[in-house]
Structure 1
Amino acid sequence: MPKRQVVSHTIDSPTVTVPGSKYLANRYIALAAIATGTTRLSNLPQNDDIEAALEAISQLGAVVTDIEPGVVEIQGITHYSLSDTAHINCRDSGTLSRFITAVASNLSSEVVVDASEQMRQRPMREVSQSLRDLGVSVDSNRLPITLKGPIKGGEVELDTSRSSQYLSGLLIACLKAETETVLMLKGKTVSSSYIQLTKNAIEKFGGVVEEVSSTQLKVPANQQLKAADINIASDVVSSSYFMAAGLLAETSVTLNAFDFDSPQGESKFYQVLEKMGAAVERHDSQLFLSYQRPLSGITVDMGDMPDVVPTLVVLAMFAQGETHITNIAHLAFKESNRIVDLCDELNKLGANIDYDEDSIRVKGGQTLSLAELSSCHDHRLAMSFALIGIKLPGITITDAQAVEKSFPRYWEFLQQIGVETQVVATAS
């Protein structure tokens, strides 16, 4: 299991341009697969999740052409019936497992959707049952799933209290349904900004989702999506690591091509840091963030920006006072249990972090000591834990290759801003 150690840092007011958003890319890839014509995607992030997504739509009949690094063209599916059963491996991508199951529901031939052993543990019941209600044959509520469409449409009730990906996947699936679809939402919808991200992506391809009420969405039948030419905005979650790095090093950082207008909740993370005491300036598409004084603990609802919670917890360990993070129950269903695993690992350092099923409480300013931290095969934990090395040189992260899921060049980017890391040899 690869280990990486943070050796030292010389961070001094770096400027960073972060690769394109994998959240946007995943949506654009799924929509391009069911659009008519050839879609061109530029600034496409290069990581394992995106490779898996491109491979998956190819197996469903889309044609993917690599133009140059970070640029692909996708010709949409022309025949929604395959001669043989398609076997799709989502690898470690929970997002893809939901989205590709939705796209595959449009095919009249059999498709098997599978993933890594870890992803097989993640819930799929809401997606599976909803697709059954809409006329798709689905054999299981967990991966691997064998399904056969086409999707008919109709009315379906969906519990969105655990993950917004269920709803995003269904919105994409139902664009090609044979009849109109009405989605009735129950429970408190988590990560609602990601739903808006999906709606915006659908609009780029000429698709329509009608909001009947706050709990009811209508998707017109058999929509003819049109190919698009899209330059993908920088990833706002990946940006969070460089914001935190600048503050931990007590310097400033400038982020280029920052997507201030993104509906994704994580795009407002800099506002959380501002409340903690960071100085923030906006210049067109540049975000300038600087350390002015020790950060202060705050109480904050992170329900709409779940993927930056690990970054915030790491910062909170070095802030003054207590930070209370609320409305995060859905973090239990990520690549790891991002409440339990995150806190238990950090407490190995001597941190004082308490948690329950919906919140985390961090008491800053504790005396920390070196320990090996496991990423728990979670890219967000691996990247956040590495930042601790700015304050605690010598910190070691096991299963460090987890960053390849979303940001395979992460260690290279840290090197560019002045954070030195090294691979630690493991006993064979």
Structure 2
Amino acid sequence: MESMSNRQVITHNIQSPIVTVPGSKYLANRYIALAAIATGTTQLRNLPQNDDIEAALDAITQLGASVTEISPGVVDIEGIKHYSLAQTAEINCRDSGTLSRFITAVASNLSTEVVIDASQQMRQRPMQEVSQSLRELGVEVGSDTLPIKLKGPIKGGYVELDTSRSSQYLSGLLIACLKAKADTTLRLKGKTVSSSYIQLTKNAISLFGGVVEEVSNTELKIPAEQSVSAASIDIASDVVSSSYFMVAGLLAETSVTLKAFDFNSPQGESKFYQVLQQMGADIERTDSQLTLRYQQPLKGIEVDMGDMPDVVPTLVVLAMFAQGQTYITNIAHLAFKESNRIVDLCDELNKLGANIEYDDDSIRVTGGQKLTLHKLSSCHDHRLAMSFALLGIKMPGIVVTDAQAVEKSFPRYWEFLETIGIQTQVVDAS
């Protein structure tokens, strides 16, 4: 990751751009975990190139999988052959919360000791749900926070799992328990957040030939010692990354066309364009191509974003320039992202003179305020960095500090902005 940098948006000349967004990191994270426990070799194509994915590939290598880069964005992954290693495996998840949950579960299949660690920021992320579940499934787990020392294998059995804070615990266990020594039954407690991401995981497991049985709405059964494999997979474009270009086009009051858009993704964010349509954007769909056009001033709406949490920062930035109020609900789980994505997002934007109110589960934006330039911190959160940069379309000269946070999911973000006509430059920290 590059050293600390600040980015200033200088100017823009956005004129109906056509964009092809890199592959989805959400899909890639699931495919990498599954490829690690698969039989034989899986080729992943259109693999996004970012720090999270590098960390994931490094992690499965530590567990005994073999990764070969064929060309940029194309890798071969040979699955783990021996679930017992010669020495303790040490894994650094860096800044990836998803990886920390997934790999903790997957690594529990090894009969060798594994230590899972991450950045200082990730050490503060909740892990208790996955660590306690693994204990109940027969795994020795040393602590409920990173770094975590564990030793498997997963014996299987019955466990109750609270999915009210994150869906990643369940996704990790669904993948890992495919290799458990006995059948595993997971009973879900609490209000499951980001349920579309669970479906994403189930679809990925099916693609590898794995089986997850739905006993009821709150109970899932994973048959033991499954053999999974997938020869090659083309990873669909990242629907969250697409959101920045949709909003860029609307802020510039022009049109934008996204190629290779994944309309069939169960990921809630794939329906973000429908939220923009409610605000007044004109939408055109053709095969795998999506075009959004600005035709009239956008209007505020009330919207439940529980199933599309990662585009909330993008929506809030757009709502600042819409008429009336935008009320965003069902987003309590945003407090547990790379930053507190409710508090940090709103407090930073209010420095500009925005009128944004929030509580534990909602954000209310009153559009049309008189705004003044002020430096905004990304709070080391890639989603905030990318969303804040879009303000430069309306407010040339805006500076986003800690801008290298985009490395986490979209390291070429600044290049992509340039291709659609947004000019930025690195500026000093003074």
For normalisation by structure 1, the TM-score amounts to 0.99
1:426, CA displacement in angstroms?
2.9
CA separation in 2, counterparts of 1:264 and 1:366? Answer: 33
2:148 aligns with one of 141, 145, 148: 145
The residue aligned with 1:63 is 66
Please give the per-residue CA displacement for 1:369-419, whole angstroms capped at 9, x wherever unaligned: 000000000000000000000000000000000000000000000000000
1:417 aligns with 2:402: no
1:189 aligns with 2:184: no
Q: Secondary structure at the match of 1:39?
A: strand
Q: Is the 8 A contact 1:204 1:228 kept in 2?
A: no
2:172 aligns with one of 159, 169, 174: 169
CA separation in 1, counterparts of 2:176 and 2:349? Answer: 40
Amino acid aligned to 1:340: V
Q: Secondary structure at the match of 2:179?
A: coil
1:228, CA displacement in angstroms?
2.8
1:11 aligns with 2:36: no
CA separation in 2, counterparts of 1:379 and 1:299? Answer: 25
Aligned residues: 427
The residue aligned with 1:42 is 45
The residue aligned with 1:258 is 261
1:404 aligns with 2:407: yes
The residue aligned with 1:133 is 136
The residue aligned with 1:109 is 112
CA separation in 2, counterparts of 1:295 and 1:89? Answer: 44
1:425, CA displacement in angstroms?
2.0
The residue aligned with 1:344 is 347
The residue aligned with 1:236 is 239
Q: Secondary structure at the match of 2:241?
A: helix
2:318 aligns with one of 307, 315, 318: 315
The residue aligned with 1:365 is 368
CA separation in 1, counterparts of 2:326 and 2:256? Answer: 23
CA separation in 2, counterparts of 1:212 and 1:377? Answer: 41
1:179 aligns with 2:182: yes
CA separation in 1, counterparts of 2:333 and 2:85? Answer: 36
CA separation in 1, counterparts of 2:229 and 2:352? Answer: 52
Amino acid aligned to 1:391: K
CA separation in 1, counterparts of 2:230 and 2:17? Answer: 38
Gaps of 5+ in 1: none
Amino acid aligned to 2:389: A
1:288 aligns with one of 267, 283, 291: 291
Counting aligned pairs with the same residue, the percent is 81
1:69, CA displacement in angstroms?
0.2
The residue aligned with 1:74 is 77
2:208 aligns with one of 202, 205, 209: 205
CA separation in 1, counterparts of 2:163 and 2:420? Answer: 39
Amino acid aligned to 2:172: G
1:193, CA displacement in angstroms?
0.2
CA separation in 2, counterparts of 1:192 and 1:146? Answer: 29
Gaps of 5+ in 2: none
Please give the per-residue CA displacement for 1:286-309, whole angstroms capped at 9, x wherever unaligned: 001000101100000000000000
1:231, CA displacement in angstroms?
0.3
Amino acid aligned to 1:109: T
The residue aligned with 1:332 is 335
1:29 aligns with 2:8: no
1:275 aligns with 2:291: no
1:303 aligns with 2:288: no
CA separation in 1, counterparts of 2:128 and 2:300? Answer: 38
Amino acid aligned to 1:325: I
Q: Is the 8 A contact 1:21 1:236 kept in 2?
A: yes
The residue aligned with 2:93 is 90
